[in-house]
Amino acid sequence: MIKVGIIGGSGYVAGELIRCLLHHPEAEIDFIYSHSKADLAIEEVHGDLFTIKKIAFSQSINYAVDVVFLCMGHGHSRSFLEENEFSSSTRIIDLSSDFRHNASRDLGNKQFYYGLLPLKKETIKNKKYIANPGCFATAIQLALLPAANAHLLPQEVHIHGITGSTGAGGSLSETGHFSWRNNNISIYKPFQHQHLQEISESLKSLQPEFEGSLNFIPHRGNFTRGILASVYFNSSIDEEDLVNLYSTYYESDPYTSVTTQQVHLKQVVNTNHCLLQVQKIDGKVLITSVIDNLLKGAAGQAIQNMNILFNLDETSGLQLKASYF
């Protein structure tokens, strides 16, 4: 069994990580570290895990586990690893933004590798340190990777995306309160979202000549979880070739599916799947991407990365059905 440690276990993503790992056939949770929740039962923080009686939050760390997931807030993973040293055999999967960019991958003798799947599947095999992608970054990149691989991206790519309230985390904020979010929608960080850099780096790795603009308008949605992103750009490719291009690119990926039918969030919420609707309308390519932001956009992809690191079936622990109704 793979011995697993979790650092920062009280947030939404950590809760989903715990839930999936408890049902993983090859993994066993060794500890869940939380300084603020130490000694509390898991169910006192994650109410959906009320049947789990044998695990409590810990204030101690086992530095010899096989793999550790870092689920702290952005900006904290780097300082944590500077102050704490795990065994030479421990794999580390960071779910923050601290190591996602090319210029920030190194920390002393540790080199992090970007874990966007399936793009980096072969790259991360046998590696020790993985930077898990961002949620919007995952949805948008999966919508654009086949086009970039075929050098189809023009100098203007337009992206509209909407995310559920769990994307903002569990801490209270002015735009996170139910009374503000309910029956409401708003734009935030237009053209300046923090995930644009990692998206651009991946696209340029496939289409080096791409120097265009990713015109991204993110929205806060009045629902709990999920991301829907619509990506569109001008292209001369016809729809049949476009569908074949996307279907071929993802034919061996168990968690990215391509369709010409209309997609919606209920098809993917509570799963590790990304569903892409591929269309060509009036000279424009339109790709609609839907994912669960907490699973495919965070915890699920992190477990998928763990499976690859340990040469397991990458679907282990992730065979989840959508909460459709």
* CATH level 2 (architecture), domain 135-293: 2-Layer Sandwich (3.30)
Helices (H) and strands (E) in the chain, counts: 9, 15
- pLDDT tens digits, 284-321: 999 999 999 999 999 999 999 999 999 999 999 999 99
Q: Which pLDDT score is estimated for 169?
A: 62
pLDDT score of 276: 98
Whether 135 is catalytic is yes
Q: What is the pTM of this model?
A: 0.94
Q: Note the pLDDT tens digit of each residue in 107-157.
A: 999 999 999 999 999 999 999 999 999 999 999 999 999 999 999 999 999
How large is the angle between the packed helices 12-22 and 300-309, nearest 10 degrees? 50
Residue 173's pLDDT band (boundaries 50, 70, 90)?
Answer: low
Q: Cβ(294)–Cβ(48) under 8 Å?
A: no
Under 8 Å between Cβ of 281 and 272: no
Q: Which residue has the higher pLDDT, 197 or 170?
A: 197
DSSP bridge partners of 32: 6
What is the DSSP-derived secondary structure letter of residue 129? E
In this structure, the number of other CB atoms found within 10 A of the CB of residue 184 comes to 11
Q: Coil, strand or helix: which one is 61? A: coil
For the chain, domain boundaries: 2-131+298-309, 135-293
User: Looking at the predicted structure, is the pLDDT value of residue 180 above 80?
Assistant: no
Half-sphere exposure of 217 (CA within 13 A, CB side): 8
2-131+298-309, CATH topology level: Rossmann fold (3.40.50)
Instruction: Note whether 152 and 206 are within 8 A (CB).
Output: no
Give CA–CA dist 199/178, Å, rounded: 31
